[in-house]
């Protein structure tokens, strides 16, 4: 074996060793959460947070899901988990479709002032959440959507359109305009071209947009805490209430279980579609 080959193998093993250490470092909080969510509280309070459970139990998961004290009623996180899905799925679908339409118009049906319009839409990506709280609260009140799941859907759609438009606009800018022009010559209209040509070829960027929107909307706390009432609170607000509602001894095992439940949907999304997310970014979302 040559010296160069031996040096190369040593460098590779060293690199893998460093990467393994980083993986352990970043996975340690998840390990602590999972392990302690399966322990009785007495084992945690006795100082054994790192050790595996001596007595395995799923009671903390049951308490977090359906029996824990949240707010003023002992309802658990289940109804708020459902609220989050009722909020996220329509908001992601609407924001994605509107972003695709905007990107289509801004690249294939350009008009005078379209660049300025795109600039205003892009500006929405940089507006801090806190600035829009009072105007959005007044708007929801005037529309009769304050404290409702449809109101939360509206808020997230408004905030998500800027990002989805940016993604699709950059992706469609690299899409062959000749195909659109050929379809127009054959008599295809605006929506026919969109639904039969562009949208079927938008899979990679659609996955990027869906994952990004789903993650941000599901993990949002500020809008959920500001624009919902007790019956429409999303999972993040319920998780905060679960932690804050503990009196006396903190039920850390229940808190850990609740945090894992809240994080599972986004974790599953990235596990299932993570490779498509990277592929979509590389295929056009950073072009233009």
**Which residues, 6+ apart, have CB-to-CB distance to 281 below 8 Å?**
208
> What's the CATH code, domain 78-285?
1.10.3720.10
Would you state the pLDDT for residue 157?
A: 95
CB atoms within 10 A of CB 25: 9
Per residue in 151-187, pLDDT (tens digit) is 999 999 999 999 999 999 988 988 888 888 888 888 8
Percentage of the chain lying above the pLDDT 90 cut? 30
**pLDDT at 5 > cutoff 80:** no
Cα separations (Å) of 2 from 7, 12, 81?
A: 9, 15, 59
Nearest-Å Rg of the Cα atoms of the chain is: 24
**pLDDT at 250 > cutoff 50:** yes
* pLDDT bracket for residue 123 (50, 70, 90): confident
**pLDDT at 97 > cutoff 90:** yes
In the predicted model, what is the mean pLDDT of the chain? Answer: 85
Would you state the pLDDT for residue 73?
A: 47
* pLDDT bracket for residue 150 (50, 70, 90): very high
**pLDDT at 43 > cutoff 50:** yes
**pLDDT at 284 > cutoff 90:** no
Q: Which residue has the higher pLDDT, 281 or 190?
A: 190
**pLDDT at 143 > cutoff 70:** yes
* pLDDT bracket for residue 103 (50, 70, 90): very high
Would you state the pLDDT for residue 72?
A: 40
Least confident of 111-115, 125-129, 243-247: 243-247
* pLDDT bracket for residue 271 (50, 70, 90): confident
State how far the Cα of 235 lies from the Cα of 142, in Å rounded to an integer. 26
Would you state the pLDDT for residue 187?
A: 85
- List every span in the chain annotated with CATH 1.10.3720.10: 78-285
Per residue in 55-65, pLDDT (tens digit) is 888 888 988 88
Concatenated DSSP letters of 143-195: HT-TTSHHHHHHHHHHHHHHHHHHHHHHHHHTS-HHHHHHHHHTT--HHHHII
CB atoms within 10 A of CB 165: 27
Paired with 73 in beta bridges are: 70
The pTM assigned to this predicted structure is 0.83
129 in Cβ contact with 222 (< 8 Å)? yes
CB atoms within 10 A of CB 60: 25
Mean pLDDT to the nearest integer, 130-142: 90
């Amino acid at each position: 074996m040559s010296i160069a080959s031996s040096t190369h193998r040593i460098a590779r093993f060293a690199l893998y060793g460093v990467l393994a250490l980083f993986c352990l470092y970043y996975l340690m909080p998840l390990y602590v959460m999972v392990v302690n969510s399966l322990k009785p509280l007495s084992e945690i309070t006795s100082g054994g947070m790192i050790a595996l459970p001596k007595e395995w139990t799923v009671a903390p998961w049951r308490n977090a899901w359906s029996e824990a004290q949240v707010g003023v009623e002992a309802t658990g996180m289940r109804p708020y988990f459902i609220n989050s899905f009722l909020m996220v799925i329509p908001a992601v679908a609407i924001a994605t479709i509107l972003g695709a339409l905007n990107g289509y118009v801004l690249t294939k049906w350009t008009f005078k002032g379209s660049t300025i319009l795109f600039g205003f839409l892009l500006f929405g990506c940089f507006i801090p959440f806190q600035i829009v709280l009072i105007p959005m609260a007044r708007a929801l009140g005037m529309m009769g959507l304050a404290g409702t799941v449809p109101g939360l859907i509206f808020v997230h759609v408004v905030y998500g359109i800027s990002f989805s438009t940016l993604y699709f606009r950059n992706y469609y800018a690299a899409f062959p305009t000749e195909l659109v022009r050929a379809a127009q010559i054959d008599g295809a209209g605006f929506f026919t071209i969109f639904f039969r040509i562009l949208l079927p070829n938008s899979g990679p960027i659609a996955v990027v947009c869906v994952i990004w929107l789903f993650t941000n909307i599901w993990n949002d706390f500020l809008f959920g805490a500001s624009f919902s009432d007790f019956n429409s609170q999303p999972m993040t607000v319920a998780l905060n209430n679960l932690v804050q509602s503990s009196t006396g001894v903190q039920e850390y095992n229940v808190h850990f279980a609740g945090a894992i439940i809240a994080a599972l949907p986004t974790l599953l999304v990235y596990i299932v579609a993570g490779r498509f997310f990277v592929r979509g970014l590389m295929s056009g979302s950073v072009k233009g």
